[in-house]
Amino acid sequence: MAGIYVHIPFCRKACHYCDFHFSTSLKTKDNVLNGIQLEALQRKESLADQEIKTIYLGGGTPSLLKSNELKDILNAIYVHYSVSPKPEITLEANPEDITDAVVKNWIKLGINRLSIGVQSFNEDILSWMNRSHNSTQAALSVKIAQDAGISNISIDLIYGVPHRTHADWMNELKSAVDLNTPHISAYCLTIEPETVFGKKAVKGEVLASPNSASSVEFITLVDNLKDAGIHFYEVSNFSKFGFESRHNSNYWNRADYIGLGPGAHSFIDGTRSWNVSNNALYATGLKKGTLISQSETLSNIDNYNEYIMTNLRRREGINPKLITAHYGVTLSQSFKDILTRYEASKDLLIAENSIKLTQNGFLLADRIASDLFLTHD
Amino acid sequence: MQDVIFLWRASDRLTVSLLRMKNIRNFCIIAHIDHGKSTLADRLLQTTGTISDRDLQEQTLDDMDIERERGITIKSHAIQMPYKFEGEDYILNLIDTPGHVDFSYEVSRSIAACEGALLIVDATQGIEAQTISNLYLALEHDLEIIPVLNKMDLASADPEGVTDQIVDLIGGSPDDIIPASGKTGMGVEAILKAVIDRVPAPKGDPKAPLQAMIFDSVFNSFRGIIAYVRVLNGTINKRDIIQFVNTKADYIADEIGILGLEMQPKKQLSAGDVGYIISGIKIAKEVKVGDTVTLKDNPCEDVVQGFEDVKPMVFAGIYPVDTDEYEELRFSLEKLQLNDASLVYEPESSMALGFGFRCGFLGMLHMEIIQERLEREFNMTVITTVPNVSYKAYMKKGEMIELHNPSDMPDLSRIDYLEEPYISAQIITKSEYVGSIMSLAIEKRGEIKNQVYLTADRVELSFDMPLGEIVFDFYDKLKSVSRGYASFDYQRTGFRVSKLVKLDILLNGDPVDALSALIHSDNAHNLGKRICKKLKELIPRQQFMIALQAAIGAKIISRETISAVRKDVTAKCYGGDISRKRKLLEKQKKGKKRMRQVGNVEVPQAAFLAVLKLDN
Ligand SMILES: Nc1nc2c(ncn2[C@@H]2O[C@H](COP(=O)(O)OP(=O)(O)O)[C@@H](O)[C@H]2O)c(=O)[nH]1
Ligand code: SF4
Ligand SMILES: [Mg+2]
């Protein structure tokens, strides 16, 4: 069981919060797309015996590619890898790209899941974030996609937006729930240094929302979605039962995946590698037959830390028995002390085979994971 | 040259020694930090050919990494420079002196080993407090002072002004002051000539019973302790049985020799010589700076005056951050003590920090150096607690207890009165800062004793103040109120009765012993408030609320709360985010490893020294 991620590093304009790898210039587009196909060929051995069950076209903004461009990429994958008969194929799409005709073309290509970058239904917030779509497009695009025949849709929401009132957040949630998608991803706005917001933050022009406000939003989010039958299954992910993202779950299950395209990460056999985050370098490299990338092989401790970090964030939590079995790590007294401490503060629920965060504990997922980490020394 | 004398008949030996004495010059350098002592010393080494230009590693005399980085000499060193002058061979022994008040006893011993001193003054800066007190020490020992105006190459040099200061201080003629530059080499020959012409040759009787003084010692992992000595009278031969008078221990002088760039073994040292003795001693404590060395069979009548058993002035707890490293810490301290006899320690335990050591230091710089050496040379991560000076508690029953630790404080009902150590302090500064320095001194319970204008805009302030006040952020404050234009020096003057209280800090209602401090009751409220404020800054928010209180006995005098974190960033975490996020969280974990769990609160190392870093 393995997955393939494809990174399409192009966007119409830069959203003010975004520090993904992308370019707003399309100059290198053809070369990069060629490169991706070459990379798919070059790396086919690395997943030779594995069935590809999920394909995820992410970015950037893959929905700005033409159907035939998407087709070429998917073809390359189908030709060089053994894709399972019923794969999950997700496309990240921005609302402004979605029309009935386009969605129908996507369906023809085999795309059966959309992750739509709604982010907000509020006009002011959308323009503050420098998104390319407006509030009408936000809701309408989802309906168009549904009417065109894709029901397996996830929408992205951003919480922790400074100065948003509680009432406004409730409205956002209502708009989201009303669209009746089986999956919602919700991210807390983080101010990253290399973004417009990051630069403004240094000058004091943008302030992150106070943690207290975003934690209230998070709790409202969890509760409201639950009422709508959309259940929390990972810190940033909510779905109706059976609609969890298979591709993303793969990451957390530490299954193998390759990432094609500039800046994409891969994880195969305990080795993680990442392609150069530069469109021109990536493309010219592959043209000459070299994939420019770096890699690291994870130690037991690294694996353990990643397991803790990704699985503490999930509904199922971590399984202490598995830790020893898989990573050869014996749980120390200090690990137990930390558990006891967070159990006492009602952030953790501890059972024999699982250690789970409580709803409040999810707000501290990073901190608790870090506390449970092991260090090399 | 020295080896040759053994080919001569015994009766000639004496003549040779006397002849040699005539051509020996023993001198030290007195200078304020950064006035150019090391640079000029390197120039002397170069010009005398003691060291080739190629070998000249910058600032040869500063051996320890920390010394080079901080640009100060912590330990003193000595070096012999052969020099041919007007057809005669001379031996110039340069004895370097430590440059910080924490080590003033060592300075006094280096001075006692010399007949002359170069007084190096930065011509752009003028005389500083430390220079003056060391100069007085040198004058007390009748040293010939050769003033040198350094950094004359700089346009901002003020030779006239600084010359006036020097003449005011030591008298003499302005013509005796040598203009120089360690940078260009200007004046270096003149300095060497002055050393030969003006510094008296050592006096002493090579025939008398051996009387030598230890002015420094270093630890060598192969050879043990190497004692640096100045022979005042008599002669010592290799394999003589020697005696250290104050420690009353006998040793065999396995190896003796002189201190070139490297040690050069000799068969004999005699009156006037500066050299070293190796006698298989493994523990630095046995070799006390200032002690007299004599021959067991033919001991000298008088010991060298001025010996003191140096006592630590500042005490603090040192604890391993990782409780498992207690034994390793003990081992490291043992090792450190091998080459630093002034470090003392004994095991202690703290409710908050577990097992560690109460350590005694010569002063605040010494404390920092030890902490730094533990971290660098022994790779230990340690917590140092709030330092304190030693107090005396006179009990109603009549006995006296020395307090080295706030937790030693007996129950108040049993105490008759308490005493704290006082110092006499000198500060030299620019006149514009006099007002703010006086306010600082008063805030620190100082009493102004004197104010002297050295020149139109340089002032020397003298005051008495409690030693305990300088361990609380005094240096930092002095630096900031004077923008760095103040130099400070002090001498201990004795004990005075004082109203001391023990200030406790409570975390979530529990007192943290390692955060307690003994302070003057007048300062208690103010300090309690500021410590709570500072701790609030230093202790990271945790998933529950933390109450911080300062208390004297049962009385809470200040309170702060650190609100709980109820949300940490929990950004998305997909394929490309995983390793980046893991690394970020690993870094956080590492940061936390440097914290100490006190009760259920994680307290960073820095918090234990919060009292020292209080701002206004
Ligand atoms: N321009 C100039 N700089 C000097 C001179 N002597 C020393 N320095 C500089 O002053 C600083 C302090 O010198 P150093 O010898 O370390 O001083 P020490 O602390 O007294 O040993 C260094 O940056 C030297 O390079 C000099 O004669 N002229
Ligand atoms: S958020 Fe999406 S659309 Fe906006 S810049 Fe980032 S990758 Fe592009
Ligand atoms: Mg120096």
Q: How far is the CA of B568 from the centre of ligand 2 (A)?
A: 24
Closest ligand relative to B182 C-alpha: 1
Quickly state the pLDDT bin for B368 (edges 50, 70, 90): confident
pLDDT at B9: 39
What would the pLDDT profile of B314-350 be if each residue is shown by its tens digit?
A: 899 999 988 889 999 999 998 888 777 788 999 999 8
What would the pLDDT profile of B505-520 be if each residue is shown by its tens digit?
A: 999 999 998 899 888 9
What would the pLDDT profile of A310-365 be if each residue is shown by its tens digit?
A: 999 999 999 988 888 888 888 888 888 889 989 988 999 999 889 999 988 999 99
Nearest CA to ligand 1 atom 11: B34
pLDDT > 90? residue B529? yes
Contact predicate B73/B97, CB 8 Å: yes
Q: Which of A22-36, A53-67, B25-39 shows the lowest per-residue confidence on average (mean pLDDT)?
A: B25-39
Query: What ipTM does the predicted assembly reach?
Result: 0.92
What one-character-per-residue DSSP string does A244-307 give?
Answer: S-HHHHHHHTT-EEEEESTT-EEEETTEEEEE-S-HHHHHHHHHTT---EEEEEPPHHHHHHHH
- Mean pLDDT, chain B, integer: 86
Distance, in Å, from the CA atom of A131 to the CA atom of A128, rounded to the nearest integer, reads: 8
pLDDT > 50? residue B76? no
pLDDT at B263: 85
What radius of gyration, in Å, describes the C-alpha atoms of chain B? Answer: 27
What radius of gyration, in Å, describes the C-alpha atoms of chain A? Answer: 21
pLDDT > 60? residue B16? no
| Most informative mutation of A15, A137, A155 for ligand 2 (most atoms within 8 A of CB) | A15
Cis peptide before A263 (omega within 30 of 0): no
- Give whole-number Cα distances, A307 to A310, A345, B587, in Å: 5, 23, 17
**B569 to A366: CB separation less than 8 angstroms, yes or no:** yes
pLDDT > 60? residue B489? yes
CB-based pocket (< 6 A), ligand 2 = A 11, 14-15, 18, 20, 22, 59-61, 94, 117
What would the pLDDT profile of B533-553 be if each residue is shown by its tens digit?
A: 999 999 988 888 999 999 998
Closest ligand relative to B62 C-alpha: 3
Closest ligand relative to B41 C-alpha: 1
Structure tokens that stand for B603 in this block? 């307290």
pLDDT > 80? residue A154? yes
Q: Which residue has the higher pLDDT, B407 or B15?
A: B407
Domains identified in chain A and CATH numbers: 2-251 (3.20.20.70), 300-371 (1.10.10.920)
DSSP-derived pairing of the beta strands B263-266 and A82-93: unpaired
pLDDT > 50? residue B8? no
Q: Please, which residues bridge with residue A8 across strands?
A: A59
Which of A212, A251, A332, A370 to probe the B interface (max B CBs under 10 A)? A370
Q: How far is the CA of B150 from the centre of ligand 1 (A)?
A: 9
- Mean pLDDT, chain A, integer: 94
Q: Which of A129-138, A146-155, B31-40 shows the lowest per-residue confidence on average (mean pLDDT)?
A: B31-40
Single-letter code of the amino acid located at B599: G
pLDDT at B69: 53
pLDDT at B54: 61
Structure tokens that stand for A258 in this block? 């390759």
Residue A101 is classified by DSSP as H
Long-range contacts of A224-231 (CB under 8 A, 24+ apart): A224/A170, A224/A173, A224/A174, A224/A177, A225/A173, A225/A177, A225/A184, A228/A177, A230/A177, A230/A182, A230/A183, A230/A184, A231/A315
Distance, in Å, from the CA atom of B560 to the CA atom of B544, rounded to the nearest integer, reads: 14
Of A232-241, B518-527, B568-577, where does the model show the most confidence?
A: A232-241
pLDDT > 70? residue B74? no
| Most informative mutation of A20, A56, A131 for ligand 2 (most atoms within 8 A of CB) | A20
Q: For B375, list phi and psi in degrees, rounded to 5.
A: -75, -40
What would the pLDDT profile of B255-292 be if each residue is shown by its tens digit?
A: 999 988 778 999 999 999 999 999 988 877 888 889 99
Question: Mean per-residue pLDDT for B429-439?
Answer: 92
CB-based pocket (< 6 A), ligand 1 = B 31, 33-39, 59, 71, 150-151, 153-154, 181-183
Residue A228 is classified by DSSP as T
pLDDT > 60? residue B372? yes
- Stretch (H or E) spanning B256: strand B255-259
pLDDT at B66: 54
Q: Rounded to a whole number, what is the distance in Å from the CA of A88 to chain B's nearest CA?
A: 16
